[in-house]
Amino acid sequence: MENQHYSNSKSLNKEVGLNCSKEVLTRLCAHTKLQLFQDLNSNLRVNEGDKYLSLSAGSLNINLKPSEIDFYLEKINSIPSKSKSKSKSSLANVTKVNKKLFKSFELIDLLNIYWEGSKDTIDFCRMLLKLKKAKNFEIIHLFINEKGRSQSIHREITSNNFKSKTIPTSDFNSLMFSVKKSRNRSYGQKELKGNEHGIIGTFLAHEFSLANFNVIFAFSRNDFLSQTEDELLFFNEIKLYIPSYLELLLDKENEFKKLKNLRMVFDNIPIKFQLSSQSNIENKANKIPSGLFYKCIDKELDSINHADIYHNERVALLGELLNTLRHELSNPLFGLQLSSQILQEEIDKDNKPLIEEITHSISRSQEIINNFTKLYSKSDEKLEVNLYKLVKEVLTLTKSESRNVHVDIDIPQEVEILTNPVWMAQILFNLIINSSQALKASNIASPEIKIRYTKSSESEFLIDFSDNGLGISKSYIDKIFSPFFTTKEKGTGLGLAITKMLVERLSGSIQYCDQFTGAYFKLRFKN
C-alpha cells in the first residue's frame, strides 16, 4: 500500500489522498457515519473505485497501511502565525499598520492583551464590549457564513449572555449586500427594512470578507438613539483590525469543530486508536512537522503497544531516579557502616548485639537499593539466574505491601534458569504487589502467597503464582491484561499489561485460572 505524501497547501484545509486495503476500507465505510461527516463539512470522501480515502480537516495527514492507519495531527491549538493570504491578516502586520495611523494605542494594546485570553469569538466580542468607547453598545451581532455553506450563523453576544441560531445563507447574503451598499455604516431599522436580521434599534455594522468566511459585525445599542460622533470614530478604528482577529478565531473554531467530528467518527469505527510518539510516515516531499501521532492498531496488538510505550518510559525514568538515589545514599550509608564498625570494636559485650543490629540494618538498606536499581536497569541480556535468589531479592522490595503476607517459595534452591533477570524480577514484583494489595483489601485472616516452580519438560518450566484471597471476579477476567483496566481507585491499570508484555518478551505465556478461590496465574517459559 502506498503512502501519499501530505500536501503542503496554503489554505488550512488540506486534502490528502490515500490508498487502503479493501478490508480497512470496508470497515471504515460500514461504520463511519459518512453522511453526517459530510454535513459537518469535514470533507471525508471515499472513492471506492481506486480504494482511495481522502480526509481533510485543518492540518490532518492520513497515511493508510494494510493493518494500520497512521495519521498525524498538528498541534491544533497553535494558531498559524504566518498565513499565506494577504499580509494584512497577520496579527503582527495589523498592529504595525494601526500604530502608524493612530495616536491613541488604547484600543490596540487592549485588544492585544485580550487576545491572549480570547478563546473564541464570544470572548473576543465580550472584550470589545468592555472597552470604554463601546460603553453604550450592549450587544454585538455576528453573522457568520462559512463560504460555500447553505446555512449561516447568527450570534448575539452581550456581556453576560449569548445566543446563537442558524439562518439561511440567502438571508445572510441579502444583509451582507445591504450593509456593503451603505455608506455611513450606521443603521436604523428603516434602512434595512425587509431584512430578517433580528437587530433591535440602531446599530453600526460592517461586512468583512475573510479567506474562509464572510462576516457581518454589528454593534447594537439596543435602543433607538442615533450613534454619536465618537462612537462612529471608534467603530471606524476598530473595523480595521477586527477582521484579522475574527479570521484567526473563526478558522481556529472551525478546525476544532472538524477535528471533533473526525474524532467522533474514528471513535465509532471498530479500529482502535492510540497515542504513539513514533511515526512511520515517510514523507519524501516535506519534513515531518512535530506533533502527536495517532496509530491505529489491530485489536490484538493494541494492548502490547500501549504497555510497551509506558513501560519503556517508566523504566527509563525510574532507572535514572534510582541511580541518583543510590549515589546520594552511598555516602551516608558508608559513614554509618564505618562508624558502627568502630562501635562494634569498642563496645562492651552486653551492647554488642545492638550494634550488630545496626550493622545488619545498614547492609539491608544497601541490598534494597541494589535490588531496586537492578529492577529498573535497562537490560536485554539473558543470563543464568538462580530463581530462588531472585524471588528473595524481589521480596525485599515488596516489604511495604507484603509485610503481613506469608510467602511460600516452593522453588528448589539450586534451580538456575536462563532468563532476563530484570524482566523476570519485574514480573514477580508486579504479581506480588498485586496480590499483597488485594489480600490486604480483602482482610483475609492469614494471607498467603505461593510461588511454585515446576520443570514441565526439558525445555520448559512453569511458575505458578497463587494467593488465598478472593480471586478475580469472572466478569473481569478477560480484561485484566488490558492496559488501563483497573479496579483500584488509584490504579494505572498497567501492571498486568506490562507483566504480560514482559512474559511474552521472554517467549513465555501467562494465564489466569479461575478454578480456585484465590488468584492463580500460570506462567510458562521456555528454558
Partner 1 sequence: MNILIIEDEILIQKSLTILLKKRGANVDATASGTDAIKLIQERQYDKIICDLMLQDITGFDVIEESKSVFTLKEISKKFIIITAYSSDQVIENAKKYGCNILNKPFENMNEALEKMLEIQ
Q: Least distance to partner 1 from the beta carbon of 315, Å? A: 17
Place of cell 454619536: 228
Q: Least distance to partner 1 from the beta carbon of 361, Å? A: 12
Q: Least distance to partner 1 from the beta carbon of 317, Å? A: 18
User: Considering beta carbons, is residue 76 or 329 the nearer one to partner 1?
Assistant: 329
- The half-sphere exposure of 330 on its side-chain side, counting CA atoms within 13 A, is 8
Q: Least distance to partner 1 from the beta carbon of 346, Å? A: 9
Give 265's DSSP letter: H
Residues 259/76, Cβ–Cβ less than 8 Å: yes
User: Considering beta carbons, is residue 335 or 491 the nearer one to partner 1?
Assistant: 335
User: Considering beta carbons, is residue 2 or 367 the nearer one to partner 1?
Assistant: 367
Residues 6+ apart with CB under 8 A from 20: 1, 28, 51, 53, 64, 65, 66, 69
Taking CA atoms, 470 is separated from 19, 115, 496, in Å, by: 51, 58, 18
User: Considering beta carbons, is residue 155 or 326 the nearer one to partner 1?
Assistant: 326
User: Considering beta carbons, is residue 333 or 470 the nearer one to partner 1?
Assistant: 333
- Helices first, then strands: H and E counts in the chain: 14, 19
Residue 274: phi and psi, rounded to 5, are -150, 165
Q: Distance between CA atoms of 91 and 89, rounded to whole angstroms?
A: 6
Taking CA atoms, 422 is separated from 84, 280, 319, 322, 383, in Å, by: 54, 30, 12, 14, 10
Residues 357/343, Cβ–Cβ less than 8 Å: no
Q: Where are the alpha helices (DSSP H) in 272-420?
A: 299-346, 352-375, 387-397, 399-402
Q: Least distance to partner 1 from the beta carbon of 376, Å? A: 14
SS3 465: strand
Q: Which residues of the shown chain bind partner 1 in the complex (CB under 8 A)?
A: 323, 326-327, 330-331, 333-339, 341-342, 345, 362-363, 366
Give 19's DSSP letter: B
Conformation bin of residue 507: beta by default, left when phi > 0, alpha when psi is -120 to 50: left
Q: Least distance to partner 1 from the beta carbon of 423, Å? A: 20
Q: Distance between CA atoms of 160 and 185, rounded to whole angstroms?
A: 26
User: Considering beta carbons, is residue 236 or 339 the nearer one to partner 1?
Assistant: 339
Q: Least distance to partner 1 from the beta carbon of 82, Å? A: 47
Q: Least distance to partner 1 from the beta carbon of 398, Å? A: 23
Rg of the chain on CA atoms, in Å: 34
User: Considering beta carbons, is residue 240 or 369 the nearer one to partner 1?
Assistant: 369
Q: Distance between CA atoms of 217 and 189, rounded to whole angstroms?
A: 16
Q: Distance between CA atoms of 227 and 136, rounded to whole angstroms?
A: 9
Q: Distance between CA atoms of 219 and 138, rounded to whole angstroms?
A: 8
User: Considering beta carbons, is residue 1 or 333 the nearer one to partner 1?
Assistant: 333
Q: Least distance to partner 1 from the beta carbon of 402, Å? A: 26
Q: Least distance to partner 1 from the beta carbon of 387, Å? A: 23
Q: Least distance to partner 1 from the beta carbon of 312, Å? A: 21
User: Considering beta carbons, is residue 288 or 342 the nearer one to partner 1?
Assistant: 342
User: Considering beta carbons, is residue 67 or 359 the nearer one to partner 1?
Assistant: 359
Alpha carbon 492 to chain centroid, angstroms: 15
User: Considering beta carbons, is residue 50 or 380 the nearer one to partner 1?
Assistant: 380
Query: Is residue 10 packed enough to be buried (19+ CB in 10 Å), middle (13-18) or exposed (0-12)?
Result: exposed
Q: Least distance to partner 1 from the beta carbon of 351, Å? A: 18
User: Considering beta carbons, is residue 374 or 505 the nearer one to partner 1?
Assistant: 374
Q: ∠ CA(348), CA(354), CA(358), 5° rounding?
A: 120
User: Considering beta carbons, is residue 330 or 404 the nearer one to partner 1?
Assistant: 330
Place of cell 471533533: 260
Q: Least distance to partner 1 from the beta carbon of 323, Å? A: 8
- The half-sphere exposure of 126 on its side-chain side, counting CA atoms within 13 A, is 13
